[in-house]
Amino acid sequence: MKAYSGCGKKKCAIARVFFKIKKNKIKINNLNINEYFNKKLNYKLIFDPIKLTNSKNLDIKIYVKGGGKSSQIFAIRNGLAKALLCYNEKYKKILSDNKLLTRDSRMVERKKIGKIKSRKSKQFSKR
């Protein structure tokens, strides 16, 4: 049984996704998906690549670290799309049309010297 892998990133979150075609189980950092993510978070975005490609019976293991929960969701989504692409090259058109293969390159801008944040300045007083 061959395993397929993909790496996804968003901000500081890095997700390594591995899957085999076996049972229908998902583990994130050795926890169930409901245990790892709160029910309030919209983690259904993770399943977009699976729904678009009509993939079934995937035994998915995900290792994710860094960033917040929202960034981790998008990193997992990106990694899963890349892993599905390794599994079948025919999925490239579907995944790229839905922008699942592209990495969101936006990062937090660094703090500058003499400023409170990256662009926020101290209050200006005329007198």
**All domains in the chain, ordered by first residue:** 4-97 (3.30.230.10)
Q: What is the pLDDT of residue 78?
A: 95
Q: What is the pLDDT of residue 65?
A: 96
pTM above 0.75, yes or no: yes
Please give the share of the chain, as a percent, with pLDDT higher than 70. Answer: 98
pLDDT in tens, 13-27: 999 999 998 888 899
DSSP output for 86-123: HH-GGGHHHHHHTT-SS-B---PPPPPTTSSSSS--PP
- The sign of the CA dihedral 81, 38, 27, 10 is positive
- Token pair listed for 5: 């892998």
Residue that the structure tokens 């960034």 belong to: 71
pLDDT in tens, 36-90: 987 766 788 888 999 999 988 899 999 999 999 999 999 999 999 999 999 999 9
pLDDT in tens, 92-101: 999 999 999 9
Instruction: Say if residues 75 and 67 touch (Cβ distance below 8 Å).
Output: yes
Q: What is the pLDDT of residue 27?
A: 92
CA atoms within 13 A on the CB side of 95: 26
Structure letter (DSSP) for residue 124: P
The CA distance from 52 to 83, in Å, is 14
The CA distance from 39 to 10, in Å, is 21
CA 38 to mean position of chain CA atoms: 16
